[in-house]
Amino acid sequence: MTTDQQWTDPTCPVARAVDLVGDRWSLLIVRDAMEGPAAFTEFQRRLGIARNILTDRLRTLVDHGILTTAPVPGGKRHRYELTEAGQDLFTLVVSLRQWGERHAFAAGEPHSTLVDRDDVPLARLRPENRRGTPVTAVTTRVRRV
């Protein structure tokens, strides 16, 4: 990650995460990268994103250690792959997906479904404390520095 980053709220992990991946295109690029390494043209085709915006978002994601590049055999081009930090965004993407399933579709409206390798849909994510007790926004607080 670059060290000259100007943070929206320097002590807040949520604000820093949003500063790094919070725009629409960055999260959709990360979502698509979770399906495996992809070339620039694959991202552009899947997302319908303008070349200049895609170039900027890919560069930013690489600069911040979320994506890395790997050469494509026999060519001058390269593919983008998730780093460990990028793979760690899986829970965030699943959480956004599940929120969207509950709140962004009308009842019975068709949508894609995330399934495991056995074709079983994922259980609903739920945060819990270190004792395994479920928690909510009502039962937690932020300890500020």
Sequence ranges of the domains in the chain: 13-87
List the one residue out of 28, 97, 30 whose CA is nearest residue 61: 30
Q: Mean pLDDT throughout 71-92?
A: 93
CATH architecture of 13-87: Orthogonal Bundle (1.10)
pLDDT tens for 10-36 read 999 999 999 999 899 999 999 999 999
Q: Mean pLDDT throughout 64-88?
A: 93
pLDDT at residue 51, rounded to an integer: 96
Please give the model's pTM, rounded to 2 decimal places: 0.88
List the one residue out of 91, 45, 38, 77 whose CA is nearest residue 61: 38
